[in-house]
Copies of this chain bind each other. A is one copy, B any other.
Amino acid sequence: MKLLKDKIRNSAKITENRIIQVDSFLNHQLDITLFNEIGKEFKRRFSSKEITKIVTIETSGIAIASITSQYFNNVPVVFAKKHAGLNMNPNVYESKVYSYTKDQEYTIKISKEFISPNDKILIIDDFLASGSALLGLVSLVSQSSAEISGVGIVIEKSFQGGRKLVEEKGLQVESLAIIDSLKDGQVFFK
């Protein structure tokens, strides 16, 4: 997706040839025009699939999933919680995820009432790197016996190997920008 790659080339900050920061348009400040183009592109890539619900994970997946829903007949969005409040219904699906950027393991949760076995789920997330968060989401949805119609990712860092772990589960993974490597502050796309 050219618009997205241009945005990454022009605005992302790269550190340690490994970390890419996209705070100016994806993770802290949100470029809603870009998100609409992302939503359209996900629709194009999953146009043959039936989707009844979009599942994502807080925080950065939420806005992308919500805008994307508008291109899938406004299907409900459900986000997995990392930081459940005291009010949260205890009847949940749970999964463990390891975060490299925060260097800690945490538990993600979705209330059982919001995914039914009849749902056809599109999973959306901002990044695919090691695949830990994505496998956690796949596990949550699988616990519900709902069908996963596909996985849509905004930015994939292919050199961290996550895609293989997700594809081994037989899932269609569509990433809108695939980064092969980061070198000397530059981004090299696949």
Contact = CB atoms under 8 A, between A and B. Distances in A.
A77 interface: yes
Contacts of A67: 66-67
A162 interface: no
Contacts of A78: 28-30
A49 interface: no
Contacts of A23: 88-89, 111, 114
Interface residues of A, number: 44
B86 A28 contact: no
The 10 closest A-B pairs by CB, nearest first: A63-B66, A30-B77, A85-B101, A32-B74, A32-B69, A29-B114, A33-B74, A62-B62, A29-B78, A58-B59
6 contacts: A15-B87, A31-B76, A33-B74, A59-B62, A59-B81, A85-B99
